């Protein structure tokens, strides 16, 4: 499972970085989204990857990270999702404003001279 998750994170990051370096604002925003998915998965995986681990403590049983899933990365990832969602939405607005003001979707606000 580690291999699959690692490959997934790697592919998302690679695509995200490539898109981030592209000249169109739409590609940039998709790249940022992919990158944030990769980062979210990464944060999630820092808690250790396990199947069938109990998410919450059982009554009367002392908690143990070998048995239970680590709740903290899950809390972190939730916060990170919310924040990246909000900032991406904000970026989308700026992207549209830039498109409207400059008349192009190039990230520099003008096309390169050829």
Partner 1 sequence: MDHLTIAPIVVPLLAGTAMVLIGDQRRTLKAALGLASVLALLALALVLLRLADGADTEAVRVYRLGDWPSLFGIVLVLDRLAALMLLLTSILGLAALVFSLARWHRAGVHFHPLLQFQLMGLNGTFLTGDLFNLFVFFEVMLAASYGLVLHGSGTARVRAGLHYIVVNLAASLLFLIGVSMLYGVAGTLNMADLAKRIPTLAGEDRALLEAGAAILGVAFLVKAGMWPLGFWLPTTYAAASSPAAAILSILSKVGVYAVLRLWLLLFGGAAGASAGFGGAWLLLGGLLTIAFGSVAVLATQDLARLAGASVLVSSGTLLAAIGAGQVAVTGGALFYLASSVLAIAAFFLLIELVERGREVGADVLAVTREAFGEAEEEDLDEEEVGVAIPATMAILGMSFIGCALLLAGLPPLSGFLAKFAMLAPLLGPNGGSVPFISWALVAALVLSGLATVVAMTRTGINAFWASPERAVPRVGVVEIAPVLLLLALCLALTVQAGPVMRYMHATAGSLHAPQGYVQGVLSAPPSGSGEGSGR
Tokens 């490959």: give the residue: 7
CB of 95 to partner 1, least distance (A): 7
* Angle (deg, nearest 10), helices 71-102 and 25-45: 180
6 binds partner 1 (CB under 8 A): no
For partner 1, how many residues bind (rule: CB under 8 A)? 32
Could you say which DSSP state residue 66 is in? T
- State the Cα–Cα distance between residues 30 and 34, nearest whole angstrom: 6
Query: Which residues of the chain form contacts with partner 1 (CB under 8 A)?
Result: 20, 25, 28, 32, 35-36, 39, 42-43, 46-47, 72-73, 76, 79-80, 83-84, 86-88, 90-91, 94-95, 97-98, 101-102, 107-109
């Amino acid at each position: 499972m580690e291999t699959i998750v690692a490959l997934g994170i790697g592919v998302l990051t690679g695509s995200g970085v490539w898109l981030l370096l592209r000249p169109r604002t739409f590609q940039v925003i998709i790249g940022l989204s992919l990158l944030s998915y990769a980062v979210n998965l990464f944060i999630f995986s820092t808690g250790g990857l396990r199947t069938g681990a109990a998410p919450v403590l059982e009554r009367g049983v002392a908690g143990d990270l070998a048995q239970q899933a680590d709740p903290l990365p899950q809390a972190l990832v939730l916060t990170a999702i919310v924040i990246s969602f909000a900032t991406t939405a904000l970026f989308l607005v700026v992207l549209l404003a830039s498109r409207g003001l400059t008349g192009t979707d190039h990230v520099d606000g003008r096309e390169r001279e050829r």
